[in-house]
Amino acid sequence: MDTGSGPLSPVSNLLQEGPFSCPICLDALKDPATIPCGHNFCLRCIGAHRQHPGGVAGAQQGTSRCPLCQEPFPADLQLRKNHTLAELLQIRLPAPSSPAAGLAMSPEELRAPAGDACRPGNADSRPPREQEEEVVLCDFCTDGERAEAAQSCLVCLASFCAPHLQPHLKSPAFQGHRLVPPLRHIEESLCKLHLKPLESFCRTDGSCICQLCRVQEHRSHEVVAVEVEREHVEAQRPKILNNVENQLDEIGVTISQTRRTVDLIKGTAQKEKVSKVFAETARVLATFQKEVLGFIEDGERAMLSGAEEELRQKEERRALLTECRQNLEKVPSTDTISFLQEFQALKIAAEEKNISCTSFPKELSFIKSSHAVLAVKELLVNICKNQWDQLSGKGDEGPVLYGMPEVTIGPQVPEKSSNPACLESRDYFLKFAFIIDLDSDTADKFLQLFGTKGAKRVLNPIAYPESKTRFINCEQLLGENVMNRGNYYWEVEIIDGWVSIGVITEDYNPQESYDTGRLGRNEKSCCLQWNGQNYVAWFGGFDCVIQQPFFHTIGVYLEYSEKVLTFYGVKDSKMTCLQQFKVARFKKGSFDPFQNKINHQFPTLFTHNLKPAFFLESVDAHMQLGPLKKDCVSVLKRR
């Protein structure tokens, strides 16, 4: 194939033989229509030809043939205007009314790309950058600068400038090739499966297809010509564009609102403010710590000075008595006068008025500071947990409680309506009588046992045998019996001194220190304490003062399955509820740290075996397990 740059054919030949003219009327295409073989004709011309085929030999009834390639096509084929080709013709060439109009165009104008059809004087409204992007270059120009393409061939998949396009216009070998206006990406106009032009649109799959696709994969689908689908889409375009505009407006409003929200979030972030509050809280706690430590040091200093002075006086008196006794022992038996003198001196020293003892409380006053600090800690833990639950959406709808409660609060007496046992007489509880024997292997060395029912605190240690279960830092002992199901009731008589009565888990640590090993000062035990003035309930280091008169006999009722422990004052077969340990909700507007501790930790006691426990706190403490008789009279003489 000679693709040289020979002399250009006349413009008339280009119009008559090229894709821009109708092969029937030899005029520029007007309302071009494309038939299945790919050739283009004026819509009016091909329609007239189909009506009068001119007696073509071999033509079958119901068919027509292409005037150029004689390929048959259905006589009833619905001919439509090829809008794409019509638009390209309007851009590429002026719309001449006769072939003479095309003769007025110079070869340079024919070779010029479509974008150059509008030179200065025919100003193109598109920007230069867009014009440059639409320029398609000839794929056959190899010498020097590549010329702009005049048309593209869908069979060769290449674009040609006017000189290189001549073989397609003149040679019969290219008669079946389909020429179209220059395309930048020719392959996009072909079917990727069959490499045929995309001439139809499948509405079922929503894709452009070729004729082979139409008769194969899409034969049962709704298929229309691309021009028909274009008209259909064009009809819908205003509505779709209006919808898109509305969406853009809505998105713009949403973006503005979201941007304001982002600015608001950044502007209202309270990290700095919260950090300042945390710092202030830390300063408050530091101040409280300083005050409590100072209180402890002042109390220790004041009480220590009095105790040391009393210790000095007692040591001096002991030295005086020792000296007088030794002088008396040194007198010879024959020296009667010296004997009488030394005896008189010893007698006078012994009869001297005892030094007034400083009155020390059974429990040092500044030890209460640990209870206050524990209360603060528990309150902070509870408030922080509640507040975090509220922030994370896990909290109850109830109000969050604030405020610092008193460390010692009012009595926790249950309502009778919620505790039917309070309405019962002593005979009711005797049905659950629990016989307890004291365990000597747990008794502290300063506790003296009277059989298995009584115990008293003494000054001189008792040489008990070593035992892994024996208390070593607290004057406590346990009952031998284990409680792990059902209901239990027993009675204890307080004969003298400070006595605590309670329960403890079987896995207690007998070597625990005095501060945390006592009943109720840890989370493994609880108790009711008589301190000589009133009753105090203890659990987990928290206490609750109970304003009730003294009862010699205390009844203990344990409901293991219900996780409830109740203490009663027993007198004349009547039961007075002193304290009940059970989980309970707070009343609105109040907060009880003692009850809060019970709510969180008390039920864990019942995951273990429990034992009766007793703590004889004062040096004169004395207790006796009740005989559980109806009159409940002690066999021991009361002091």
Rounded CA separation 49/531 (Å)? 126
In this structure, the answer to whether residues 498 and 619 fall within a common structural domain is: yes
Domain count along the chain: 2
- Cβ atoms of 164 and 143 within 8 Å: the answer is no
In this structure, the answer to whether residues 299 and 414 fall within a common structural domain is: no
Domain boundary among 335, 360, 385: 360
Whether 6 is covered by a domain: the verdict is no
Residue range 421-444, pLDDT digits in tens: 456 788 889 989 999 999 999 999
Task: Give the helix ranges, DSSP H, for 37-176.
Answer: 43-51, 83-92, 99-103, 107-111, 128-134, 162-170
In this structure, the answer to whether residues 341 and 409 fall within a common structural domain is: no
Specify burial of residue 426 (Cβ count, 10 A radius: 0-12, 13-18, 19+).
buried
Can you read off the two tokens belonging to residue 457?
């605190």
In this structure, the answer to whether residues 413 and 554 fall within a common structural domain is: yes
Whether 570 is covered by a domain: the verdict is yes
CA proximity to 579, closest of 603, 551, 606, 541 = 551
At residue 66, the 3 state secondary structure works out as coil
In this structure, the answer to whether residues 450 and 576 fall within a common structural domain is: yes
The H-or-E segment that residue 491 falls in is: strand 487-496
In this structure, the answer to whether residues 310 and 417 fall within a common structural domain is: no
In this structure, the answer to whether residues 499 and 432 fall within a common structural domain is: yes
* pLDDT recorded at residue 496: 92
Cα angle 19-134-88, degrees, rounded to a multiple of 5? 30
Whether 452 is covered by a domain: the verdict is yes
* pLDDT recorded at residue 17: 46
* pLDDT recorded at residue 492: 95
* pLDDT recorded at residue 291: 86
Whether 499 is covered by a domain: the verdict is yes
In this structure, the answer to whether residues 335 and 438 fall within a common structural domain is: no
* pLDDT recorded at residue 395: 58
The H-or-E segment that residue 544 falls in is: strand 542-546
CATH value at residue 599: 2.60.120.920
Residue range 79-122, pLDDT digits in tens: 888 887 887 777 654 444 333 333 334 444 444 443 343 333 34
Whether 153 is covered by a domain: the verdict is no
In this structure, the answer to whether residues 340 and 419 fall within a common structural domain is: no
At residue 476, the 3 state secondary structure works out as strand
Whether 493 is covered by a domain: the verdict is yes
In this structure, the answer to whether residues 536 and 591 fall within a common structural domain is: yes
- Cβ atoms of 435 and 560 within 8 Å: the answer is no
List per-block mean pLDDT (blocks of 10 residues) for the chain, which spans 639 residues: 41 47 82 87 85 52 77 82 79 44 40 40 44 72 83 83 88 82 78 82 91 87 89 88 89 89 74 80 89 82 81 88 89 88 87 61 58 80 81 59 39 39 76 92 94 92 93 94 92 94 95 92 95 92 91 94 94 90 78 87 94 94 81 35
Domain boundary among 325, 360, 395: 360
Residues written for the chain: 639
The H-or-E segment that residue 492 falls in is: strand 487-496
Give the single-character DSSP code of 298: H
Sheet hosting strand 207-209, strand order edge to edge: 207-209, 200-202, 223-225
* pLDDT recorded at residue 268: 65
In this structure, the answer to whether residues 535 and 592 fall within a common structural domain is: yes
Residue 304, domain extent: 272-360
Can you read off the two tokens belonging to residue 370?
């640990």
In this structure, the answer to whether residues 344 and 416 fall within a common structural domain is: no
* pLDDT recorded at residue 453: 92
* pLDDT recorded at residue 198: 83
Whether 122 is covered by a domain: the verdict is no
Which conformational region is residue 58 in: left (phi greater than 0), alpha (psi within -120 to 50 degrees), or beta? Answer: left
Q: CB atoms < 10 A from the CB of 627, how many?
A: 15
